[in-house]
Structure 1
Amino acid sequence: MQFAFDFNDVSKRVIAGQAGRKTRIVPRRKSISQPCLPGLERRGVDSFFLVLGPDEEAAECIRRSVHAELVVRRHLQIWPKKGHLPHISLLGLGAYDGIPRDRVAGVAKIAEGFSHPGFDVSFDTLMRFRRSNAVVLTGGDDGCIRRFRLSLHEALRAGGLRVPGGSSFTPHMTLLYSTSPFEDCRVSAVQWRADKFFLIHSMVGDSKHVVLGRWPLRG
């Protein structure tokens, strides 16, 4: 099975890291604002994150590696919706109603000048976060992810952007959400090479991810 990701942004896209790390801004399309009842206005429905993500081949390998445990044994479905980008969230940039153009452009500018070598990612545990009901792939040697996140956070701060980066961070990849009882278990190690990072726009309520920027890891 191949993944089909919907990378078409309805507002503005920042495309970076493909040729000479240049950033291209596509003009924003007009949107139609619909009235809401008092107290029911849309608030913070657009979230933005910096993430690591496997390519389609690696994502398919991950799916196959956990298929027996999650699909066959537990009758759960992995990444059910078109437009979901498998990823490891690193830093949240905030929630907005619409795309914060200046903030996105600021992140893109810093990311273009950021240098860090690629590294291997390995997870070997399936577990559920009780608070969010997220079933995730985690565990393994996550030191490289933590160090990369710290370096990226420091670069953003040095560039004048205030981004939360608390120490309570557990590297993981969300596979699905389930309220069913879930027993944590070990699985064969899932590995891939992290050679790029992304800025994604998460449309809350739609389970849809739009890639606004991507930058290679090198250094």
Structure 2
Amino acid sequence: MSQGVFDFGQSEGPLRPKKPERLILMVLLETPVSSQALEIATGIQTANRLQAKLRPLKHLHISLQHIRDDNRLREKYVFAAKCAANSVSADAFDVCFDRIVTFPGGRPDKRATVLLGGSTPLMDLQRKLGAALISNGLRGTLSFNPHITLFYSSRSVVPQQIDPLRFTVRTFSLVHSERGLTKYNILESC
């Protein structure tokens, strides 16, 4: 006869936040652009003698609208977000990211070092999506600080200009991000 085992709330696998399911609208970078961004990040790390894990190639993005975090993905919010996303259209447009900064705040051991930049059409797309989310009963924001997170570190880098990373935005996506698992599920591409 074997003795029973008690769980006591311990689980295998990565620690996930209380609300691990995130719904977000974003521009996912195409692979050649992501590769260029990671080359920039590696150069910044080397120049600043930083040890930090780079964001995964397939996860580099520009966040357009953070819709909500939940303990489980809820279909009514997914449906409303899809309706909002599909109500907005934009022609392809160019963006330019030409500055590196580390955002202040957050956890001291996990400060985001990012590329900053953008374009007027990117700002317009973000505002249109915010208005569409609001008209579909969801939270939307009309303000925006376009950035691409490269890595998290305990140390900041000196803000600086870089050779511009230029690319064309052709689509945006509604993504279910499984927080703590570094997993993106594309629910809709527009």
TM-score normalised to structure 2 length: 0.79
Structural RMSD (CA): 2.6
Ranges of 4+ aligned residues in structure 1 off by more than 4 Å: 34-37
CA pair 44-127 structure 1, distance change in 2 beyond 3 A: same
Q: How many residues align?
A: 175
Q: Where do 5+ consecutive residues of structure 2 fail to align?
A: 1-6, 11-16
From 168, 171, 179, the equivalent of 2:154 is 179
From 104, 107, 120, the equivalent of 2:81 is 107
Partner Cα separation in structure 1 for residue 32 and residue 162 of structure 2? 19
Percent same amino acid among aligned pairs? 21
From 98, 116, 127, the equivalent of 1:150 is 127
1:161 aligned partner: 137
Partner letter of residue 137 of structure 2? Answer: L
CA pair 170-110 structure 1, distance change in 2 beyond 3 A: closer
**1:153 Cα deviation after fit:** 1.5
Partner letter of residue 177 of structure 1? Answer: Y
Question: Residue 54 of structure 1 contacts residue 193 of structure 1 at CA under 8 Å; is this kept in 2?
Answer: no
The answer to whether residue 107 in structure 2 is matched with residue 135 in structure 1 is no
1:10-159 matched pairs, under 5 angstroms: 36=9, 43-71=18-46, 73-77=48-52, 79-81=54-56, 85-132=59-106, 133-139=111-117, 141-158=118-135
**1:56 Cα deviation after fit:** 1.0
Residue 90 of structure 2: SS of its match in structure 1? Answer: coil
Question: Residue 55 of structure 2 contacts residue 149 of structure 2 at CA under 8 Å; is this kept in 1?
Answer: no
Say which structure is richer in helix: 2
Partner letter of residue 116 of structure 2? Answer: T
Residue 132 of structure 2: SS of its match in structure 1? Answer: helix
TM-score normalised to structure 1 length: 0.70
Partner Cα separation in structure 2 for residue 149 and residue 114 of structure 1? 10
Partner Cα separation in structure 2 for residue 181 and residue 87 of structure 1? 21
Residue 120 of structure 1: SS of its match in structure 2? Answer: strand
